[in-house]
Amino acid sequence: MPDHADGYPTALGASTPETITLLGADLAGDIMGKVGFGELAFWLAAQRRPTTGETRVFEAVLAALADHGFTPTAIVTRLTYLSAPDSVQGALAAGLLGGGSRFLGVTEDSARFLHRHLPDPLPADDTAWDTLARDVLRAQGGARIPGLGHHLHKDGDPRTPRLMRIAAEEGLFGPHLSLFAAIGRVHPRLLGKTLPLNGAGACGAALADLGLPLELLRGFALLARTAGLIGQLAEELHRPVANEIFLSVDLNHRPVPPGGPGGSYG
């Protein structure tokens, strides 16, 4: 068994009978009322305090991912609350558990994809980035590109250019965003169609350019969506729709034989 005679090391929160410290600072005196939540979330994950520009980009990402209306995550949160109004935590957890490869998880998937294809040394200009992007797309052989395409914003996701602009204004338009932008420029000719660079992919690229751990990027998407799900529950309290959603399925089901079209799953 490991020897913990020297205690369990942590640079995060710690308490004594008189004080509470967080990240080496006095929580009550140095953080509360002085550090915004977005800045603190970055600080906790990166173990360093972000610059003003980093905070702006990070909070723009959180805003971009907070709520997208009646998505599956929002619907399941409302339905869980309908079923168990005594369990707000259950309703929020139900929505967050739906953050996967189709919703929310694209943020992490895009960042990992882009990071995997960054060369050393990095391209020197847009022409070289475009060459790299073409090589990346050819290597995919027609497989899905995380962050490319959107089910609704066919002519462009409004979040993407805005986030790229904010990152550029703050001098934080790094290699992940550069490759992402290059993929946006070159893919129509290679794929034979034009697809939008979606906001979730741009968010993943921006978070990676901030130097945040790739392993945690889905966590930031979930952090943002938690705020949105709380908003969904707040609206459900005043303008409930969950029962109508439930009844629209329950009263319109169509009985079929068990299994597949032939009567079995086999």
253: in domain: no
Examine the domain organization and report whether 43 and 110 are in the same domain.
Answer: no
89: in domain: no
Residue range(s) defining the domain that contains residue 181: 106-214
Q: Return the CATH number at 154.
A: 1.10.230.10
258: in domain: no
DSSP the chain: ----TT----SS-EE-SS-EEETTEEIIIIITTTS-HHHHHHHHHHSSPPPHHHHHHHHHHHHHHS--SS-HHHHHHHHHHHH-TT-HHHHHHHHHHT-BTTTBTHHHHHHHHHHHT--SSPPSSHHHHHHHHHHHHHHHTT---TTB--SS-TT--THHHHHHHHHHHTT---HHHHHHHHHHHHHHHHHSS---B-HHHHHHHHHHHTT--GGGHHHHHHHHHHHHHHHHHHHHHHS--HHHHHHHHHTT-----SSSTTSS--
Examine the domain organization and report whether 125 and 37 are in the same domain.
Answer: no
**Last residue of a domain, which of 199, 214, 229?**
214
265: in domain: no
Give pLDDT, residue 265: 54
131: in domain: yes
Number of domains in the chain: 2
In order along its 266 residues, the chain shows pLDDT tens digits of 566 667 888 888 889 898 999 999 999 999 999 999 999 999 999 999 999 999 999 999 999 999 988 999 999 999 999 999 999 999 999 999 988 777 777 899 999 999 999 999 999 999 999 999 999 999 998 788 999 987 777 788 999 999 999 999 999 999 999 999 999 999 999 999 999 999 999 999 999 999 999 999 999 999 999 999 999 999 999 999 999 999 999 999 898 888 766 565 55
**Last residue of a domain, which of 191, 214, 237?**
214
221: in domain: no
251: in domain: no
Give pLDDT, residue 97: 93
Examine the domain organization and report whether 39 and 126 are in the same domain.
Answer: no
222: in domain: no
